[in-house]
Amino acid sequence: MKVVVTGASGFLGSRVADYLLSDQSPITVTELVLVDIQAPPKRNDPRVSSFALELSAPGSAEQLITKNVAVMFHLAAIVSGHAEADFDLGLRVNFDATRSLLDEARRTNPSLIFVFTSTVGVFGGNLPEVINDLTAVTPQNSYGTAKAMSELLINDCSRKGFVDGRIVRLPTVSVRAGAANRAVTSFASGIIREPLNGERSVCPVPPEQKLWLTSPEVVVKNIVYAATLPDDALGPWRAVNLPGFRVSVHEMLQALKVVAGEKVAALVSFEPVELISNMVASFPAKFDNSRALDLGFAVDKNFADVIRAYIRNDLKRPL
């Protein structure tokens, strides 16, 4: 099976690629094409080809979508803080490129399984206490708006038989390894990752702020699992809120204290940043996981175990 991953240089894209190449993958990959604005790292695997590509540039979609591509995982995006700061770039990368890919699938390969990573940031404003898959999208930020537009287009293209779309809305992912990015929720990893590496971290939101979280390990498995669902499993609405769990920043730091000790947790301080606080506060933090769990998606048990998984898999500095 030929598979394409966009955004394959990013944290999640690279891990989706690794998982697809592993023995644990539920998809048998015979050819894997990895693309990003900067060429993804080469892998010592004859199935893999990697190259740089600007997805919104003319002709890019035609290079990626051919008749023999079975699955595309479209993860390429400008993250929330960057999209808010540069509206035109965010719209071009987060919506225009998606539309170009869908147009090419319609012309060339309407049976393509198109897995699109969206965000809980498509919700905002005056929301019900609990969000489900059919809650109306009311984004309060440019990133969420472009993702919501893409969701609606994928749904309509799927309804018309132009593509087999599957939309997975990602909770905030923590703990991400590596350097901080420009997502407004980047602190959700930084307040754990930096202290575990012996560094101070400043949290821009108050301790009582609640978040809807998932771990990298679980979300990668869920992204790939979406491609294995039967074509009629999602019905007319192709978007699924991936399972997560609700936790406050204070509870995250309490879990860090339990796992790594009080001295590590004490490396976190609070300095509110109004723009970030307001955007994060607009995101919902309580979801009904039932549809996703019924479909077979996985969920983390608790945040302490998420921290332990980061220490086990990604921490380079021994505690």
Catalytic residues: 143
Give the burial class of 318: count Cβ atoms within 10 A of its Cβ; 0-12 exposed, 13-18 middle, 19 or more buried: exposed
Q: What are phi and psi of 170, to 5 degrees?
A: -90, 130
Q: What does the alpha-carbon distance between residue 227 and residue 158 come to, in Å, rounded to a whole number?
A: 14
Helices (H) and strands (E) in the chain, counts: 13, 12
Q: What are phi and psi of 299, to 5 degrees?
A: -145, 145
Q: Which helix (H) or strand (E) holds 202?
A: strand 201-203
Residue type, 4: V
Residue partners of 110: CB distance under 8 A and separation at least 6: 161, 162, 163, 164
Q: What does the alpha-carbon distance between residue 3 and residue 33 come to, in Å, rounded to a whole number?
A: 6
